Chain A
Amino acid sequence: MSDKTMTTDEVVSRLHSGMTLGIGGWGSRRKPMALVRALLRTRITDLTVVSYGGPDVGLLAAAGRIRRLVTAFTTLDSIPLEPHYRAARERGAFELMEVDEAMFMWGLHAAANRLPFLPVRAGLGSDVMRVNPTLRTVTSPYADASSGVREELVAMPALRLDAALVHMNRADRLGNGQYLGPDPYFDDLFCEAADAAYVSCERVVDTAELTKEAAPQTLLLKRSSVTGVVETPNGAHFTSCAPDHGRDEPFQKLYATTPYAEFAARFLTGDEQAYQSAVRAWHKEQR
């Protein structure tokens, strides 16, 4: 069995412009921010990003790397509206496929199960159908026993990904990934829906360590759907990564209130280590 550990730069060296990229987590929760920062250090652009959007989308939008976005929302949670995403939308910076949260999930399920679509009720009657004119419906071959109606539902197309980026609490060198917080979000689906999946984690541990103190159902990612593993302590910063760390609310506020160019000049010009020390320095100034 192969050792899949690599650096963030090795991960992004396997990505290229024009890719469809799924990003795990949810809003401002357990986002693979170190991998997003590594992506920002490259010239990779023209991306189709598939994400339950948070600051991952905000940063990539502010840096002009998104050609098309697939999402149900973009939020910083404690700050409801993501300012960079918002500004990008208001200047018409990229194409948007706006779908409902459940439609999004079924799109990932379809891709993970190698199905062309899955039927969902959500979307019918809403303007999701108007703003996505390529969405089609599908009629059930079975009539409802009581009404005789053959239901017509939305055929949510598979959201197949060229690559997925997710962040876990722990992983081993083989690609088995573990979450220790209260919610897995949809990170296993992102990995299974992708041709290649890259997992950053707070700590790489021996396989035996994974179940020493945690229950087996915390083992979310199977190594068969993981391509690369990166150890990035505090790698979800400034989003939450319970129980390892909460959201860095003061820093998120700084991010949300600073013009992108100014924020990038201070925090995003060096490598991940430089980012983490710049964050520490900023916190020291605040005391």
Chain B
Amino acid sequence: MSPASTPAPGAPAAVVTRAEYCVIACAEAWRDNGEVLASPMGPIPSIGARLAKRTFSPDLLLTDGEAMLVGLDGTPEGWLPYRQHLTMVTGGRRHVMMGASQLDRFGNQNISCIGDWSRPTRQLLGVRGAPVNTLNNPTSYWVPRHSPRVFVERVDMVCGVGYDRAAAAGPSATRFHRIPRVVSDLGVFDFATPDHSMRLASLHPGVTVEQVREATGFGLSVPDEVPRTREPSPEELRLIREVIDPGGARDREVRS
């Protein structure tokens, strides 16, 4: 049975997929954010942001991916060309969830290149807006395939600034710096430790601590009792499956 189909009366509800836990974990990033721009990058964060706006964070602003602020039905409500978008970033009324080609234990992120910057073995996107994002508005990360190649001891090029690097750069760097969470296909992570190193905050159901440790290229802080990522409500499942992502883009990004 496909997750989108309605179960027959009396039949058990379709099982919650890993991708759906990821959607819930991403949506939670924008809880209690108030009237700010949610900037999700990638399919599952986009579904998560829309779910948050449809349920517990109705004041969020969303864009059409270009220059318009739009409501859930696509009605334009504002204009946000790139230059104004950058002011939204530096003014702080935004919470972005970026991708990461590499991410280290203090939350430094790389999307620029792999290898020596002066002659990379693999050129990627470039720093893009990661430096301005991380120093100015809350920046979370989404990693669809948790592996030691992404979660590394040291990133090759610091694009998004982590806690150690921000601290070393001084009060102008730390003033508005915050990394609320990292969501991967295995769990949710934060930096709520004394030295701001990465901590396992919750495991998606079906994932073990051992699996996470094996897939992480640095020593992760793991509490004695690791919570499970919360269950979606029946209404949330209906919204994800029937309203926001009936085409199943989430299952193409994270397979069960």
Contacts and interface: CB of A to CB of B under 8 A. Distances in A.
Given A81-B124, A90-B119, A90-B122, A125 B169 contact: yes
B159 A127 contact: yes
Nearest to A121: B135
Contact of B129 (A74, A81, A100, A185): A100
A100 B166 CA distance: 16
A178 interface: no
Interface stretch (A149-157, A206-214, A253-261, A267-275): A149-157
A183 to B, nearest CB: 4
Interface string A158-193: 000000000000000000000000111110000000
A254 B176 CA distance: 43
Interface size grouping (class) on chain A: 35 or more
Contacts of B161: 124-126
Interface string B62-81: 00001110000000000101
Contact of A90 (B121, B134, B169): B121
B130 to A, nearest CB: 7
A121 B126 CA distance: 19
A81 B123 contact: yes
B27 interface: no
Contacts of A124: 131, 135, 161, 166, 169-170, 172-173
B159 A73 contact: no
Nearest to B169: A125
**7 A-B pairs with the lowest CB-CB distances in the bound complex, closest first:** A73-B126, A122-B132, A125-B169, A182-B67, A102-B132, A100-B131, A125-B161
Contacts of B160: 126
Most chain B C-beta atoms within 10 Å of own C-beta, residue among A53, A99, A126, A147: A126
A53 B128 CA distance: 10
A128 to B, nearest CB: 6
